Amino acid sequence: MKWIVPLLLMITLTACGGGGRAVAPVGNYDYDRDQRKIATPPSYYTVRKGDTLYSISWRYGMDYKDVARMNGIRSPYTIYVGQKIRFKPGSRSTSSSRASSQSSTTRSVKPAPAPKPVAKPKTTSPKSQAKPAPAQQTFVGNQNLQWRWPTQGRVVSTYSNSSPGRKGIDIAGKAGQSIIAAASGKVVYSGNSLPRYGNLLIIKHNDVYLSAYAHSDKLLVKEGQIVKAGQKIALMGRTGTQRDQLHFEIRRNGKPVDPIRFLPKR
Where residue 202 sits, what CATH number does that domain have? 2.70.70.10
Range of the domain at 229: 155-261
Is residue 159 domain-resident? Answer: yes
Is residue 112 domain-resident? Answer: no
Number of domains in the chain: 1
pTM: 0.67
Q: Is 203 helix (H, G, I), strand (E, B) or coil?
A: strand
The CA distance from 32 to 160, in Å, is 15
Contact 205, 188 (CB under 8 A): no
Q: What is the pLDDT along the chain (266 residues), one digit of tens a residue?
A: 555 545 454 444 444 444 333 333 323 334 344 455 677 888 889 999 999 999 999 988 899 999 999 999 998 899 999 999 998 754 444 444 444 433 333 333 344 444 455 444 444 444 433 333 333 333 444 557 899 999 999 999 999 887 767 889 999 999 999 999 999 999 999 999 888 899 999 999 999 999 999 999 999 999 999 999 999 999 999 999 999 999 999 999 999 999 999 999 98
Is residue 203 domain-resident? Answer: yes
Is residue 138 domain-resident? Answer: no
